[in-house]
Structure 1
Amino acid sequence: MENWWAQTGHGVRFDWGPVGAARLAQDVGCLVVVDVLSFTTSVTVAVEKGTLVHPYPWRDESARVFADRLSADLAVGRSAATPTSPWSLSPAALRRAPFTPRLVLPSPNGSTIAAAAGASTVVAGSLRNADAVGRWLAGRGYGTPGRPVAVIASGERWPDGSLRPALEDLLGAGAVIASLRTHGRDLLSPEAAMAAAAFAGTAEIAGAVSHSASGRELVDGGYADDVAVATETDACTVVPVLTDGAFTAA
């Protein structure tokens, strides 16, 4: 089958979700996972504190078994956090929580994409660390046709399990791609160029994310502080890289 889907010939590529990640991972040297609300934002917050973050695709009893095997704490759902188990997928809660050396962070979107990367280097990107990620990638030779990078917007899920493209992830991916271009990696696929244009053309990122479908879900649910953390554009200089099964600072 012709690999038209691979965006061959371009140094910087863009696609959506676990399927897009699995496809592009076959032809790139690095995969940047972008899940703004909230997996990769939470990863940046935890790694800033020195925590090793182990991605896990399911939030079920197997996650507890996995965490126990690693002697790690387990992040729970936002509403399930307690004083004795304060770690959750909420980046604002993670910022307030006490330090833990190891954290298992379940996510059906971001973690699943990280697992789909195969032998590719995996980086956690977000609005918070987009410029740091672009600079790091360019500095290590990624983003050329010979060493391409794929930026993957995680998206969300409809009730039937199908992909729901999410504005916040388009903007987060576009921010990483725009940074790559700023740092000299300008051989963008048309898909990547459009993602960068979406970011560049959005005058008020925080407002756009807050009023997006995903943002409204969190704000209406009482988690406006998570949206606020997620839209701290370029406030973070940490580049989390998946190393031996855990995201750690590069």
Structure 2
Amino acid sequence: MHWFSQEKFENRLECGISAVENLISEVDCAVVVDVMSFSTCVSSAINNGAAIYPYPWKDASAIAYGMGLGASTASLDRRFSGEGYSLSPTSIKNISEGERLVLPSPNGSAISFKARDAEIAVFSGCFRNRIATAKACRTFERILLIPCGERWADGSLRPCIEDYVAACGIIAALGRENLSPEAQAAVAVWQYYQKQDLQPLRECSSALELIQRGVGEDVDFCLELDKSKKACRLLGNAYISTQVASR
């Protein structure tokens, strides 16, 4: 057992792509949490019955990839106002059932595919599908929550509080007792933010970035809680819906 593996525990938590590189071989299921905006875009589309094809590069090759799939490709400009979709989650909320959309997102996509290559179950989680994700993951024994975070200019990991709190909420919704110390702390964090209706997250660094870029409506959308009854599972190259019955 590696000292960092959290191997003794069912529910585990670690941040960024390094979590996949170091912990993924000892789990059955991973939940990728990238709230602003990858995971929320995925949930927004899947909730309407569409499919999301993650793509790990934000360049012209994404369009060619989409054409090869017979799919649309989201614009890299969140403020894109033409026909189609962008990386803004609110731009995807009216996507039609059966549509296929390529989502260029280096962070969420890279972590998703790296986890998939370990041949485990991979889900995308956020605030909007928190309970749905927890219900879908309960059939797995060893679950790793991965708050993705962002990157500083030098390429190092910038942990993001909104990703961490969403992962905390999913852990709390799983309702298990055999939690690693990291996951135990996460439940306490969730309880703190839940009591405040997530209001402090409206002033976190990622939220302020979106507001400054003129897409403040995305902040409200990303912080809506439990709006989707569908979990989002990566099968092959696409995230598709997993319907969760109401209980």
Return the TM-score normalized by structure 2: 0.92
Give the deviation of 1:82 after TM superposition. Answer: 3.9
Partner of residue 102, structure 1: 100
Within-5 A mapping of 1:85-164: 86-96=84-94, 101-117=99-115, 118-138=118-138, 140=139, 142=140, 147-164=141-158
Number of residue equivalences: 239
SS at match of 1:201: helix
Q: Are 2:67 and 1:76 equivalent residues in the alignment? A: no
Give the deviation of 1:100 after TM superposition. Answer: 6.2
Partner of residue 174, structure 2: 180
Q: Alpha-carbon deviations, 1:144-183, whole Å to 9, x = none? A: xxx30100000011111110000100110000000012xx
User: Hey, what's the Cα distance between the residues in 1 that align with 2:158 and 2:180?
Assistant: 22
Q: Are 2:165 and 1:171 equivalent residues in the alignment? A: yes
User: Hey, what's the Cα distance between the residues in 2 that align with 1:100 and 1:68?
Assistant: 16
CA contact (8 A) 1:12 1:187 kept: yes
User: Hey, what's the Cα distance between the residues in 2 that align with 1:179 and 1:187?
Assistant: 14
User: Hey, what's the Cα distance between the residues in 1 that align with 2:201 and 2:178?
Assistant: 28
Give the deviation of 1:22 after TM superposition. Answer: 2.4
SS at match of 2:93: helix
Give the deviation of 1:61 after TM superposition. Answer: 2.0
Q: Alpha-carbon deviations, 1:124-148, whole Å to 9, x = none? A: 110111111112211x2x2xxxx30
Which 5+ residue runs of structure 2 have no aligned equivalent? 243-247
Give the one of 222, 237, 247 matched to 1:230.
Answer: 222
Q: Alpha-carbon deviations, 1:68-114, whole Å to 9, x = none? A: 11111101223462423x31111111114566611111112111110
Q: Are 2:185 and 1:194 equivalent residues in the alignment? A: yes
SS at match of 1:109: helix
Give the deviation of 1:188 after TM superposition. Answer: 0.7
User: Quick one: which amino acid aligns to residue 16 of structure 1?
Assistant: C
CA contact (8 A) 1:25 1:116 kept: no
Give the deviation of 1:119 after TM superposition. Answer: 0.7
User: Hey, what's the Cα distance between the residues in 1 that align with 2:100 and 2:160?
Assistant: 29
| Percent of residue pairs identical | 35
User: Quick one: which amino acid aligns to residue 107 of structure 2?
Assistant: N
User: Hey, what's the Cα distance between the residues in 2 that align with 1:55 and 1:22?
Assistant: 19
Which 5+ residue runs of structure 1 have no aligned equivalent? none
SS at match of 2:124: strand
Runs of 4+ more than 6 Å apart: none
Give the deviation of 1:206 after TM superposition. Answer: 3.6
User: Quick one: which amino acid aligns to residue 148 of structure 1?
Assistant: R
Partner of residue 219, structure 1: 211
Within-5 A mapping of 1:25-36: 25-36=24-35
